[in-house]
Amino acid sequence: MQNNENHAILSTSTLMGISIKDPEGKRLGEVKDMMVDTATGQIIYAILYIEAGFLGKQNKFFAVPWQAFQFDNQKNAMILDTAHEKLRNSPGIDEGDWPTAPQKEFINDVFRHYGYDPYYFITE
């Protein structure tokens, strides 16, 4: 399904586990979860599971602002157009310590790291 601007409309179950690729098509990992602003329904950021080997480390989870992604209908994947070094240095999330409530400082750090203005709801 698509909206009037020809953007895909997808279920969250479709997005969970969807492949994340760089612009060259190299698989980086997958969407593990999404954080939603319950007041607006807007996805604020995705939690990515990045596979060992890509970063030369163990498996890791990263928060990435939702607007950093583009959906590729042809590849059925989310494209993350960011330098691998920027992803490598992105604020990480420990598997056993996922955010359960708004964490203003963390979210603002994530947005700034990727070059986006801090999320409007969280800024002071």
Confidence (pLDDT) at 109: 87
Strands 60-65 and 92-93: antiparallel
Q: What is the DSSP letter of 91?
A: P
In a domain, 7, yes or no: no
In a domain, 57, yes or no: yes
Per-position pLDDT tens, the chain of length 124: 444 455 677 777 778 888 999 888 888 889 998 888 888 888 888 988 887 665 555 667 888 999 999 988 888 889 998 887 888 788 777 776 766 666 788 888 889 999 988 766 554 4
- The count of domains in the chain is 1
C-alpha dihedral, 23 to 48 to 30 to 28, nearest 10° = 40
In a domain, 75, yes or no: yes
Backbone angles phi, psi at 14, to 5 degrees: -70, -40
Q: What is the CATH number of the domain that holds 94?
A: 2.30.30.240
In a domain, 70, yes or no: yes
In a domain, 3, yes or no: no
